Structure 1
Amino acid sequence: MKKIGFLSFGHWSPDPGSATRSAADTLLQSIDLAQAAEDLGADGAYFRVHHFARQLASPFPLLAAVGAKTSRIEIGTGVIDMRYENPFYMAEDAGAADLISGGRLQLGISRGSPEQVIEGWRHFGYAPAEGQGDADMGREHGRIFFELLKGEGFAQPNPYPMFPNPPGLLRIEPHSEGLRDRIWWGSGSNATAIWAAEMGMNLQSSTLKDDETGEPFHVQQAKQIQAYRAAWAAAGHERTPRVSVSRSIFALVDDRDRAYFGRGVQSRDSVGQLDETTRAIFGRSYAAEPDRLVAELAKDEAIAAADTLLLTVPNQLGVDYNAHVIEAILTHVAPALGWR
């Protein structure tokens, strides 16, 4: 059994062919798609975070709105770039959104990905400490945020406060019990997956990672998951961790599917430079008739190893079509693979 959700990058553009012409379109349709996915029986609604781009960026207003409009589905991110975040303010926002949703947040956080602008985090008021890089800063912000979610007091109370304080040191409020167990680290390498395990975070692994062995993407990703779980066991954490992978998967069940994805999808892994120093491997997409799709997906070692699968959706094609994409996987593919 697997949990199956969708992951939306939340693109918008004024192009006549886009169903999301503005940021308002994307935000409101994201809420609608989460509701539709819940009605279909999907398990999660996840959203990407990209700054300085015509994509979803500030997650907590959206997560709170989705939480207020749904009742069952998990609500998450994949991922929040921690280089841009104040961990203290983020702990307040996350606690509030989680309480609104009734404890359904699944927050993916990470050091982030290549950006639209040069060192965009500097415009948000952040800079690495001397001798460190932006990745170090992102991990440190993530560590502080994760620590704050313990709900332990750390701030000295004012002896003359406006309102009465509880005894002892004060913590970030509102605090949502259990949210800390629902934090995921988006990892692009084996080393950061091991770091996440040692910290006690769940693991998110997307459709790209560092090319560390030259093997096919799904094999490298499966080995990353194996290294993560081994490190988790060695750390002695009490709970069982969760692991998600993302994939672009389209079951071709009608003429619309064949027109959009019947040809031209990336049917093989690709390798390229993610930045000046990092060689990355990008996982293939899947688009085929259901029987063939089932046979192809059965060979994906990383999907087999994960407990959660996030389906990347083409949000600019509109809510109705994206709901159809999700329903086709839940109906024609997941049962045949034993996922449901």
Structure 2
Amino acid sequence: MKKIGFLSFGHWADHPAYTTKTAGDTLLQSIDLAVAAEEIGMDGAYFRVHHFAKQLASPFPLLAAIGAKTTKIEIGTGVIDMRYENPLYMVEDAGAADLISGGRLQLGISRGSPEQVIEGWRYFGYEPAAGESDADMGRKKGLEFFEQLKGVGFARPNPNPMFPNPPGLLRLEPFSPGLRERIWWGSASDATAVWAGKAGMNLQSSTLKFDESGKPFHIQQAEQIRLFKKAWKEAGHQREPRISVSRSIFALVSDQDRYYFGHEADRTDKTGILEADKRAIFGRSYAAEPDQLIKELAEDEAIREADTVLLTIPNTLGVDYNVRQLSALLKYVAPGLGWR
């Protein structure tokens, strides 16, 4: 069994073929899509976070709105770039959104990836400490956020407060019990997957990672996941971790599907330079008739290792089309793979 969610990058542009021509279109359609996804039996609605781009950025208003209009579906991110975040303020935002949803947030965070502008986090008022890289800063902020979700008091109370204080040191409010167990680290390397396992965060592995062996993407990703599981076990954490992988998967069941995605049927893994001189491998897209999709996906080792599959969606094609495509995957593909 797998949990199946969608992952939206939340693009918009004034393009004739787009139903999301403005930021407002994208935000409102994201809410509608999450509501519809819950109705057809999807397990999760996840959203990417990018700054300085015509894509979804500040996630918590959207997550809270979806939480208020749904009752069961998991609501998450994949991922929040911690280089841009104030960890303490983020604890408050996340706690509020999680309480509104009734404890359904699944927050993916990471040290960040190449963005639209050079060192964009500096415009947000952040810079690495002496001797730190921006990646170090992102991981440090991630750990601070993760630590504060324990809800332990740390701030010395004012002896003459406006309102009475409880005894002892004060914690951030609102506190949402259980949220800490629903934090995921987005990892693009074996080393950071091990780091996340030791820290006690769940693992999100995307459609790309650093090419560390030259093997096919799904095999490298499966090896990464196994290293994470080993680190988790050795750290002695008491619960079972969650692990997600993202895939672009399209069931070709209509002429419209074939028009949009039929050209992707022969796609293979790609390689490129992700940042500096680091070689990255990008996983292939899957687009085929349902029976062929089942055969191809059954060979994906990383999917077998994960408990959650996030389906990247073309959000610009609108709610109705994406609901039809997700419904086809649930109806024709997921049962054949044992995901349902």
Same fold (TM over 0.5): yes
> Which residue in the other structure is 2:96 paired with?
96
| Matching residue's letter, 1:20 | T
What is the alpha-carbon distance in structure 2 between the residues aligned to residue 13 and residue 215 of structure 1? 37
Q: CA deviation at 1:149?
A: 0.1
Shift of 1:267: 1.2
Aligned to 2:260: 260
Distance 2:259 2:272 in 1: 28
- Aligned-pair CA distance for 1:266: 6.7
- What does the per-residue CA deviation read over 1:17-62, in whole Å, with 9 as the maximum and x for residues that have no partner? 1110000000000000000000000000000000000000000000
1:160 pairs with 2:160: yes
1:88-167 → structure 2 map (5 Å cutoff): 88-167=88-167
TM-score normalised according to structure 1 size:
0.99
Partner in structure 2 of residue 198 of structure 1? 198
How many equivalent residue pairs?
340
Q: Quote the Cα distance in structure 1 between the aligned partners of 2:122 and 2:11.
A: 24
Cα distance, 1:16 vs structure 2: 1.1
- Residue 33 (structure 2) aligns with: 33
Does 2:54 correspond to 1:54? yes
**Given the superposition, is the C-alpha separation of residues 248 and 266 from structure 1 closer, same or farther in structure 2, using an over 3 Å criterion?**
farther
For residues 61-118 of structure 1, give each alpha carbon's deviation from its aligned partner in whole angstroms, at most 9, with x where no partner exists. 0000000000000000000000000000000000000000000000000011111000
Counterpart of 1:226 in structure 2 is: 226
Paired residue type of 2:2: K
Report the AA paired with residue 209 of structure 1.
K
**For the residues of structure 2 that align with 1:264 and 1:307, how far apart are their CA atoms?**
26
Any runs of at least 4 consecutive aligned residues in structure 1 with deviations exceeding 4 A, and if so which? none
Report how far residue 277 of structure 1 moved: 2.2
What TM-score results when the alignment is normalised by the length of structure 2?
0.99
Equivalent AA in structure 2 for residue 23 of structure 1? A
Aligned Cα RMSD in Å?
0.6
Q: Deviations over 1:168-187 (max 9, x none)?
A: 00000000000000000000
Contact 2:264–2:287 (Cα < 8 Å) also in 1: no
308-317 or 275-284: bigger deviation = 275-284
% identical equivalent positions: 73
- Residue 22 in 1 paired to residue 22 in 2? yes
Aligned equivalents of 1:184, 1:164: Cα separation in 2: 36
Alpha-carbon distance between aligned partners in 2 of 1:4 and 1:222, rounded to the nearest angstrom: 18
Match in the other structure for 1:310? 310
> Could you tell me which residue of structure 1 aligns to residue 279 of structure 2?
279
Please say if residues 264 and 286 of structure 2, whose CA atoms lie closer than 8 Å, have aligned partners that are also in contact. no
Map of 1:327 onto structure 2: 327
CA distance in 2, matches of 1:262, 1:170: 57
Q: For 1:209-253, what per-residue CA distance to the aligned partner results, in whole angstroms no more than 9, with x for missing partners?
A: 000000000000000000000000000000000000000000000
Report the residue type matching 1:232 in the other structure.
W
- Give 1:264 deviation, angstroms: 3.9
| 2-structure distance, mates of 1:102, 1:265 | 40
Structure 1 residues without counterparts, runs of 5 or longer: none
In structure 2, C-alpha distance between the alignment counterparts of 1:181 and 1:124, rounded to whole Å: 28
Structure 1 residues 305 and 238 mapped into 2: Cα distance closer, same or farther (>3 Å)? Answer: same
Partners of 1:256 and 1:34 lie apart in 2 by 22
Query: Quick check: 1:207 aligned with 2:207?
Result: yes
Q: CA deviation at 1:275?
A: 1.2
SS, match of residue 250 in structure 1:
strand
CA distance in 1 between partners of 2:274 and 2:57 (Å): 21
SS in 2 for 1:274: strand
Whether the 8 Å CA contact 1:114–1:274 is kept in 2: the answer is yes
Give CA-to-partner distance per residue, 1:254-310, whole Å, 9 cap, x none: 111011001146710000000112110000000000000100000000001100000
